[in-house]
A and B are shown apart, each in its own frame.
Chain A
Amino acid sequence: MSHLPASIDFRANVRQVPPALPAAVQKATAKFLGTRAALVDALGHDVWQALRQAGHDLRLHALDNLDRYLEQAERQVLKAGGHVHWARDAAEAQRIVLDIAGQHRARLAVKAKSMATEEIGLNQALETAGLRVLETDLGEYIVQLKGVGPAHIVVPAFHLSTEEIAALFREKLGVEAPAEAQQLTQIARVKLREEFLRADLGISGANFLIAETGTIVTVTNEGNGRMCCTVPPVHVAVVGIDKVVPDWESLTVLLKLLARSATGQKLSCYTQFISGPPRSEAETGPKELHLVLLDNGRSRILQTAETRETLLCIRCGACLNVCPVYNSVGGYAYGYPISGPTGVLFASQILGAKAAGALPFASTLCGACNDICPVKIPITDILLQLRHRVVEGDAQESAVAPYRLQLAAQLGSFALARPWLYRLGSRLLAWLQAPLRSGDWLLRLPPPFNRWTMARPFPAFAPGFRAWWRSRSHHTRGRS
């Protein structure tokens, strides 16, 4: 789904999650976590932690000097004969790509997996203008056929069974499709091969953009990235400005972190380094290269020091894999192309608190994501800041939470700040609970606390400690 909702209702989305989904999610994430752990162990704990720190420090350095690196990247791409466009927002990026497509009278575009293009709704914009746009990453191709968005940033269709995919191919492609993965892969290979060779336009994102030489780096396992960037006559790369890294040496760190964190591979199959269009006529490759630098809220994220590290993300998906919330609900509940912890960080800030204010609360703050992030993003600290933004507002946005919650917080802290009122409240609750009590438990509580008791009983109030302490102090005093 390339269109984004006006407002994300996480709870409502969760209620729509099919019962079979969590088990499928967990099967996938467990596999990735396992292969990742094996490779991290093989490298050694100290080596891995040093890499994480290096990854963090170099990405932060790039962000702290983003303007200079963007200018350097632009200079280098232009020097290499590429075109550079700047897009402030989704609409502008769409217009730029449409213009390029129009100039070449493009009718068919093939696309490598790119979260940035999903974020800006590029497919829809192109299709509205009469182009056919084909996702070429197998998982994205499958969900595109199905008419839904990706359920995970690395394996978009993992939640669909082989049978479902076979049925989809039979229905949408009109071919014999046995429910067997290798044969389905072969069907997709043949189908997409025809399209690659016919396509007028190849669209990609970039995993990284090396400022030193203006180099677009793409990382794929399937080869569709190579196809999109090599075979059609025009290549358009839509790249978030946060993807910039200073130099090639930075990649000696980042490439070691990325594939291990994402899929438990030492290196993905194809890491492509593209610095401009081919330098001679005789080389195979696109005739034109267009780099579209996308802001779409990233410079705003930069503004708040407490949330800036959101942009360190290298899109590995490890935080999704380890998140107990993601594992309970899958990607669609988040209502955004990127899901899980990093998806919450991006969606909250790119869409804003009004649209995405529900998301920062979709976390228990367990912190597993902090520990697994290869570039040490302080994810839970950022979530806390985003929650603060939603309910009290901060320099970036004013509060959007309903006033009655503010009132409840004020009353609550008023009572808790006054020991006499706190103790009075405690006695009152212990007294009021009598009719609800069933032994040591309260089986049902009034709203909104029935949200607790719908799942499990609440313990009965038992504020006996203070009286115990007082009586034993009297006792001790009495004895001495």
Chain B
Amino acid sequence: MVRRAQLFITCLGDQFFPGVLQRMVGLLERLGVQVGFPAEQTCCGQPFFNSGYWSQARDLAAKWLRVFGRTEGAIVSPSGSCVDMVRHHYPRLFPPGTPEHRLAIETAARTFELTQYLAHELKAIEVGARFPHRVTYHASCHLLRGLGVREEPKALLGGVQGLELIPLPGEETCCGFGGVFSVIYPEVSRTMMEAKVQAIDSTGADVVVACDAGCLMNIAGGLRKAGSPVRAMHLIEVLTAGGGMP
């Protein structure tokens, strides 16, 4: 029986992180997964839901469910917050007993964040990666508290040859992105981001790794603003590294 996975690339991944998505495809295929990409997908509706615009969120959720509901196999995404949206909030957007509600529950049950999928579905902790650098890990909030994914990313980093994992002070503290929060309360967002950048700098690591596009945009921008040499990378980039910096 061939394992199938459908790519849930997310709007941010689609617009800003083509390399991450390509590498994800490469790794999954190397692990024997037949990868599909439903091209009609756009956005899961999270920004609208988080902003309180539930009518719009419902429309986009219904569309997302139509696109992915007719696929087979696991639905895998490199973003914890989008998966959290689908798994925890989609069922609540539709009244119990409706077809949309049933579809939301069924589809949510087979939607995974990438490290969840690798660790629990594929049982692939060591994937033959080599990345001889000092790395620190930032735990994205929705991945950590929404999905309960705490150890898996670190276990995967532990399986990378030559990688030295340095604990990040305040690893579980929010980086200050918060979606629309970053433009509604930019000063607070900045304060939180600067604290995160300072913590990262204090580790002496070359690279900070995270599993969420929003966090990465925020932290990478912050590192650049601070003139820091530290690179912000998605976990998949480290897992598909052959030795040098990609």
Secondary structure call for the B interface = helix
Asked whether B6 is an interface residue with its Cβ less than 8 Å from the other chain, the reply is: no
Q: When the two chains form their complex, are residues A413 and B60 in contact, meaning their CB atoms are under 8 A apart?
A: yes
Q: When the two chains form their complex, are residues A328 and B141 in contact, meaning their CB atoms are under 8 A apart?
A: no
Of A360, A364, A451, A457, which one neighbours B176 at CB under 8 angstroms?
A: A364
Bound: A426/B41 CA distance, A: 13
Asked whether B110 is an interface residue with its Cβ less than 8 Å from the other chain, the reply is: no
Given contacts A388-B52, A413-B53, A465-B22, whether A367 and B59 have CB atoms under 8 Å apart is no
Q: Which chain A residues border B178 with CB–CB below 8 Å?
A: 363-366
Q: Return A439 CB to nearest CB of chain B, in Å.
A: 10
New A-B pairs, 5, CB < 8 Å, besides A362-B185, A462-B17, A463-B14: A329-B188, A361-B180, A367-B142, A368-B141, A419-B40
Q: Which chain A residues border B154 with CB–CB below 8 Å?
A: none
Q: Return B138 CB to nearest CB of chain A, in Å.
A: 12
Q: Which of A209-242 contact B (CB under 8 A)?
A: none
Q: Which chain A residues border B220 with CB–CB below 8 Å?
A: 459
> A240-272, CB under 8 A of B: which get 1 and which 0?
000000000000000000000000000000000
Asked whether B18 is an interface residue with its Cβ less than 8 Å from the other chain, the reply is: yes
Q: When the two chains form their complex, are residues A465 and B183 in contact, meaning their CB atoms are under 8 A apart?
A: no
> B167-199, CB under 8 A of A: which get 1 and which 0?
000001110111111111111111111010000
Q: When the two chains form their complex, are residues B15 and A384 in contact, meaning their CB atoms are under 8 A apart?
A: no
Given contacts A364-B178, A370-B145, whether A458 and B221 have CB atoms under 8 Å apart is yes
Could you write out 19 A-B pairs with CB less than 8 Å apart? A328-B188, A328-B192, A360-B52, A363-B181, A364-B174, A364-B189, A368-B172, A401-B52, A406-B53, A412-B48, A413-B56, A417-B60, A419-B42, A422-B42, A426-B14, A457-B224, A459-B16, A462-B15, A465-B9
Name the residue on B nearest A364 (C-beta). B178
Name the residue on B nearest A326 (C-beta). B188
Bound: A454/B186 CA distance, A: 8
Name the residue on A nearest B11 (C-beta). A416
Asked whether A278 is an interface residue with its Cβ less than 8 Å from the other chain, the reply is: no
Of A325, A392, A417, A468, which one neighbours B22 at CB under 8 angstroms?
A: A468
Bound: A327/B54 CA distance, A: 30
Of A22, A368, A388, A457, which one neighbours B191 at CB under 8 angstroms?
A: A22
How big is the B interface, by class?
35 or more
Asked whether A161 is an interface residue with its Cβ less than 8 Å from the other chain, the reply is: no
Hey, which bits of chain B sit against chain A, CB under 8 A?
9, 11, 13-18, 21-22, 25, 37, 39-43, 45, 47-57, 59-60, 63, 141-142, 145-146, 172-174, 176-193, 195, 217-218, 220-222, 224-225
Given contacts A361-B184, A365-B178, A462-B16, whether A409 and B51 have CB atoms under 8 Å apart is yes
Total interface residues on A, using CB and 8 Å? 60
Q: Which chain A residues border B222 with CB–CB below 8 Å?
A: 455-456
Name the residue on B nearest A369 (C-beta). B145
Q: When the two chains form their complex, are residues B221 and A459 in contact, meaning their CB atoms are under 8 A apart?
A: yes
Asked whether A355 is an interface residue with its Cβ less than 8 Å from the other chain, the reply is: no
Of A406, A452, A469, which one neighbours B37 at CB under 8 angstroms?
A: A469
Q: When the two chains form their complex, are residues B18 and A14 in contact, meaning their CB atoms are under 8 A apart?
A: no
Name the residue on B nearest A456 (C-beta). B221
Q: When the two chains form their complex, are residues A466 and B39 in contact, meaning their CB atoms are under 8 A apart?
A: yes
Asked whether A297 is an interface residue with its Cβ less than 8 Å from the other chain, the reply is: no
Bound: A464/B9 CA distance, A: 12
**B18, B41, B195 — most chain A CB neighbours (10 Å):** B18
Q: When the two chains form their complex, are residues A362 and B188 in contact, meaning their CB atoms are under 8 A apart?
A: yes
Asked whether A158 is an interface residue with its Cβ less than 8 Å from the other chain, the reply is: no
